[in-house]
Amino acid sequence: MKLFVDTGDIEEVRQAAEWGVLDGVTTNPTLIAKSGKGFKETVVAMCKLLPEGTVSAEVVATDYDTMLKEALEIASWHENIVVKVPLIPPGIRLVSTLTERDIRTNVTLVFTVSQALLAAKAGATYISNFVGRVDDISDEGMKAVAETVAMVENYGFESEVLVASVRHPVHVVQAVSAGAHISTMPFKVLQMLFNHPLTDSGLKRFLDDWNSAGLKILS
């Protein structure tokens, strides 16, 4: 499964990229607005930090003609950019157009399999299925992920199912079980994937024993 970080912060992308396990970045208008930096400078800097990955950058218009202009502008900034498009009728029309032009898309704000079907049929590269926001209203967000993965596989769609709105490591584990292709998460959740108290206590014991014996690797 690919791991993406969901952020508008270039420094977080730099740190996560250093680990060598980061496959991409997702941004959204809220995250970019919070970053306090310009949209283009932020996503281009992220693309440069992750030369093998993709950076999803979202259009903000809601009418087809303006969405198309924004999408073409965003896509022209860097070859690693994937244009993020909300799941609304002009958005799905836009995804169909961009697919014809070989421009990759990430369809966002997807909550149900019926919505995901529209995104898949339009040729979305990624289908961003939000889980946390559904859990927040006392439903089970991961259910639609499993159903969407099955739908994509059963019908041979090329879209990858991207689990978004991830709140904690258990969501990542559930995304793995559901067979999702990608999970995107805040940097703090990515850091939490490292954590286990037995790793910390085990490392402490190894190092204490090693140091007590006065051993060295490097002279």
> Which residues contribute to the site for ligand E4P (CB under 6 A)?
6, 26, 28, 108, 128, 130, 132-133, 164-165, 184
Q: How many CA atoms lie within 13 A of 136 on its CB side?
A: 9
Inter-helix orientation angle 89-100/64-77, to 10°: 50
Token pair 């690797």 in the structure block, residue: 217
Instruction: Compare residues 54 and 97 and give the one whose CB is closer to ligand E4P.
Output: 54
Instruction: Compare residues 120 and 163 and give the one whose CB is closer to ligand E4P.
Output: 163
Q: Which amino acid, 62?
A: T
CB of residue 214 to ligand E4P, shortest distance in Å:
49
Q: For residue 84, indicate whether it is catalytic.
A: yes
- In the chain, the N- to C-terminal Cα span, in Å, equals 40
CB of residue 145 to ligand E4P, shortest distance in Å:
13
The C-alpha atoms of residue 18 and residue 165 are separated, in whole angstroms, by 23
Instruction: Compare residues 6 and 12 and give the one whose CB is closer to ligand E4P.
Output: 6
Instruction: Compare residues 108 and 159 and give the one whose CB is closer to ligand E4P.
Output: 108
State the catalytic residue, choosing from 34, 40, 84, 204. 84
Inter-helix orientation angle 113-122/89-100, to 10°: 30
Token pair 């704000």 in the structure block, residue: 109
CB of residue 150 to ligand E4P, shortest distance in Å:
21
Q: Which amino acid, 192?
A: M
CB of residue 180 to ligand E4P, shortest distance in Å:
13
Question: Catalytic amino acids?
Answer: 84
